[in-house]
Chains A and B, each alone.
Chain A
Amino acid sequence: MSFELIKDILIATVPLLVIFPSLFAFTTWMERKALARIQNRIGPNKTGIPCTRIGLFGLGQPAADGIKMIFKEDIVPRGADKLFHLLAPILALIPAMLILCFLPLEFPWGKFMSAPVQAFLLDSAVIFFFAISGLATLAIFMAGWASRNKYSLLGGMRAVAQMVSYEIPLVLSAVVVVMMVGSLNAKEIADAQTGFNWFVFTPWGLAAFVIFFIAALAETNRSPFDLPEAESEIIAGYFTEYSGFKFALFFLGEYIAMFAISGLAVTLFLGAGDGPFLTAAPWLSVMWFIGKIFGLIAVMIWLRGTLPRLRVDQLMAFAWKFLLPLSIFNILLAGLTHFALDARVAATSDAILYSIHASHTHSDAANHDHPKPVAGQKEAVMGALHYTDKDWMGAMKWFSKAALKGHAQSRSILGWGFGIWAMSLIVLYVMAKGLDNVSRSTAKPREYLYAE
């Protein structure tokens, strides 16, 4: 193994191992502060610089928590399976760290690499992401089983059932994007969205993004799907019997998984590192990427502060009777609308291109019979060129410019585009509404005998 390869691998992996755990520390602080403010409290505000009374808004809290976790006693229950009890938190962290490699994060120091060794350049990066993130389920099951505690086991069972169920809508909603890009390569998916061609702006992309985000919440056991660790029912679920540093590892693994799955949502739907000012400063791309991840994390925290926990039957009904049919329908609709739109618009833009071509050849042949250029034809041609380049936002800009000048073909393209766009949004909404009505859990809440 050459020195160059080792250097490349270190450049590719070390930033991930440094940046995301430090972001984890910051996120715990952010989450505690945000939850506190949502509940009209102040949150951590005293832990700042040690031995002084400088609070720094409690930014020292993650460090203090970490020190506390390291020095806490590590308790292993007497009946526990010692080996598995030790392995479970490690196994929970490893897949979470691994899947970070599949996010198309292009750090500026990547140019010091002699060969591209990043995992997101793999041809099947997205499949790998789902495959490896599924391993977290095993760790949770292991923890629940090895603790030999009924609450742990219940939590583990709930976690496995939930994660297996929600993985299906998660993958199916990602399939739409894979279908449109025609690649499982994370880099290609990211490149397909440059210039604000984010998939979330399309109707099927929006629906898939919402499904993906909900399923991601359930995958990472976040509120309102935090049944596996429902503290009012089963103490702490699968990590009831964990303390000290093992607990910290679980915690870290959970947050890293949150980052990773938000990162995948950003890659698939929110344009990855795409954003303004990229031509002036390409290094901003990483900042945009991490900023979008933080936006999604903030929404997760916000939801945690807002929503109550679901019941088990509601959880399962929601996954199987609402998200799954909707995501399958979404794939169908994405194919149909894309096909219809593409056929129509491609034909028209081809016609535009052909007409300009024809007029050129014609004008060469017979100068005297020069046809009058149609108003806005130049813009329409630009739009058509952008369209063949799959830059839909750019195409729309040029087509609308042409349409404003009274170009009939552009008008028809825009009409078709917006018509199909609005129609599919309406169809998706109606479908979701219908599924919601059908899939509502019929179980009535228990009547309280002693309620007074």
Chain B
Amino acid sequence: MSILGGGIFKGMAVTLRNFVGSYFYKERLTTNDYEWRPDGALPQSIGDYPKEEGEQLSDTTTVNHYSRNFPMLLHDTGEPMDTIRCVACQICERECPPQCIYIEKSTEKIENADGKPQFYPAKFDIDVSVCMSCQICVEVCPFDAIVMNSQFELSTPDRFGGLLVRRDDLLKSNDYYHKIHPQEAAARDQKMADDKAAKVAKKKAAAEKAKAAAEAKAASAAEAKASEDKTEDAE
């Protein structure tokens, strides 16, 4: 037997605590009340936010670890275009529900971070005015090349060009990813390493298997030949 209307009062206590607490504890406020900047200069990246003294650039500026807004492209340590992970396979473009991704595949291959020649996106545009932040492109990407950014201050006076984010603006380093989403980035790196190891092991196994199969095939071919001979004899 609970008190009639007790749940309502409990909820009202919670909201009252929020109401009062938000005046006294700054860390409760999820958004930053940033200073006015010089004319026209909107903060462009997370580093642009004013930091209070002694405060590290951390998730206070980006809501928290799990915040996600629009996708970005990842590259490994090094020059962005030399270490880009995306191979322009266009899976994300096909899967994107609102179809906000536009990819043009390159004609020639360049070497990627592993030194393997791969295609790369000659164009990779995301229209963030259309993107619905569903994260499906991240789920489907086989190369862990596209992940969610948490940058949220995207206002621009140009509502068409300004909201179409180009490849070079989308490219962010893996270090940046580690900075904004440390746990997720670590998990993703771990997974990539595991995948790589598994792939190597699989390749090895496949090679052995192929070898075995070839031997078996040779043996069975010989046997078949023999049985054929037998039937001929019987006739």
Contacts and interface: CB of A to CB of B under 8 A. Distances in A.
A binds B: yes
Interface of A: 34, 37-42, 45, 53, 302-303, 305-307, 429, 432-433, 436
A124 B89 CA distance: 77
Most A C-beta atoms less than 10 A away, residue of B11, B12, B19, B29: B19
B18 A37 contact: yes
B234 interface: no
Contact of A40 (B11, B12, B29): B29
B205 to A, nearest CB: 32
Given A40-B18, A433-B4, A303 B33 contact: no
Contacts of B19: 34, 37-38, 305
Given A53-B36, A432-B4, A305 B30 contact: no
Nearest to B7: A307
Nearest to A430: B4
A307 B11 contact: yes
B28 interface: yes
Contact of B18 (A38, A53, A433, A436): A38
A302 B8 CA distance: 11
B14 A306 contact: yes
14 contacts: A34-B19, A37-B18, A37-B19, A37-B22, A37-B23, A38-B15, A40-B18, A40-B29, A40-B30, A41-B22, A42-B22, A302-B15, A305-B15, A306-B12
Nearest to A303: B12
Interface residues of B, number: 19
Interface of B: 1, 4, 8, 11-12, 14-16, 18-19, 21-23, 28-31, 33, 36
A42 B26 CA distance: 10
A56 to B, nearest CB: 15
A306 B18 CA distance: 11
A37 B22 CA distance: 6
Nearest to A305: B15
Contacts of B23: 37
A429 B12 CA distance: 21
A39 B23 CA distance: 12
Contacts of B11: 306-307
B96 to A, nearest CB: 20
A307 B5 CA distance: 12
Contacts of B33: 42, 45
Contact of A41 (B8, B14, B16, B30): B30
A436 B8 CA distance: 14
Nearest to A299: B12
Nearest to A210: B5
Contacts of B1: 433
Nearest to A304: B15
Interface centre among B4, B14, B31 (most CB of A within 10 A): B4
Contact of A307 (B4, B8, B16, B31): B8
B30 to A, nearest CB: 6
A279 B14 CA distance: 40
A450 to B, nearest CB: 15
A37 B33 CA distance: 14
Contacts of A38: 15, 18-19
A312 to B, nearest CB: 20
Closest A-B pairs by Cβ, 5 of them: A306-B11, A38-B15, A306-B15, A37-B19, A37-B22
Nearest to A41: B31
A367 B44 CA distance: 101
Contact of B31 (A42, A53, A302): A42
A305 B15 CA distance: 7
Contacts of A39: 18
B8 A40 contact: no
Contacts of A432: 4
A91 to B, nearest CB: 34
Contacts of B36: 53
A41 to B, nearest CB: 6
Contacts of B4: 429, 432-433, 436
A307 B16 CA distance: 13
Contacts of A433: 1, 4
A303 B12 CA distance: 7
A40 B20 CA distance: 10
Which has the most chain B C-beta neighbours within 10 Å: A303, A305, A432?
A: A305
Contacts of A53: 36
Given A38-B19, A305-B19, A432-B4, 5 more contacts: A37-B18, A40-B22, A41-B22, A42-B22, A303-B12
B62 to A, nearest CB: 16
Given A37-B19, A38-B15, A306 B31 contact: no
Nearest to A224: B8
Contacts of A305: 15, 19
